[in-house]
Amino acid sequence: MQFFLDTANVDEIRTMVSTGLVDGVTTNPSLIAQSGRDLVQTIKEICALTNGPVSAEVTATDVKGMVAEGEYLRDIADNVCVKVPLTWEGLEATHRLSEQGHPVNVTLCFSANQALLAAKAGAVYISPFIGRLDDTGANGMELIGEIRTIYDNYPELDTQILAASIRHVLHVKESAMMGADVATIPAKVLKALAQHPLTDKGLAAFMADWKSTGQSILS
């Protein structure tokens, strides 16, 4: 499974990329707004920090506008992936951009039918929003499983499942078990994947035992 970092915070991305665990980055208009920075400059800086795909989202809602903005965003850097909403207009824009060779991440997916349409339109990634489905009382993980089943039934559909709206480590584990190709994760959740109380307890015991020997590995 690939891990994308879900943020527009350049400093945070720089720190996390240095771990070697980050395969790409996803942004959206809300994350750009939270950063308080210029969109183009922010995307340019993020793209310089990773060789992986960096999703940059259009803000137009009509086909012509989405295609124009997608082409503009793609000019920022070679690893920009155009992000479009899963609307009827977004599907047509996905088709047009894909026909031109531009990778597209179709976002705001909440049903398997939507995911099927996005794949047929040529999306490289489909982003089902797990956490937002959970908020409504539905089970977001069921959607990941449904999409995986559909895509596996039709090998010609090579769209990757990008699990999004991830809130906690259980979402990551279950997405991986369901066969999602990618999880886009806030930095705090990615860090939390490494945490376990028994690890901390075991390490404390090892360090105490080692200290009692009076030795140093490098001395």
Asked whether the beta carbons of 205 and 175 are under 8 A apart, the reply is no
Q: Is 61 part of any domain?
A: yes
Q: Model-level pTM?
A: 0.95
Q: Is 81 part of any domain?
A: yes
Catalytic residue selected from 44, 64, 83, 188: 83
Q: Which two tokens stand for residue 147?
A: 């999409």
Report which residue type is found at 213: T
Q: Is 155 part of any domain?
A: yes
Residues in the chain: 219
Does the annotation count 83 as an active-site position? yes
Q: How many domains does the chain have?
A: 1
Q: Is 219 part of any domain?
A: no
With a cut of 90, say whether residue 43 has pLDDT above it. yes
Give the 3-state secondary structure of residue 38.
Answer: coil
Q: Is 110 part of any domain?
A: yes
- For 79-111, write each residue's pLDDT tens digit: 999 999 999 999 999 999 999 999 999 999 999
| Full domain range(s) for residue 198 | 2-213
Q: Which of 79, 89, 84, 136 is nearest to 109 (CA)?
A: 84
CATH code, 55: 3.20.20.70
pLDDT the model gives residue 34: 92
Give the 3-state secondary structure of residue 129.
Answer: strand
Looking at residue 126, the DSSP 8-state letter turns out to be E
Asked whether the beta carbons of 66 and 60 are under 8 A apart, the reply is yes
Q: Is 185 part of any domain?
A: yes
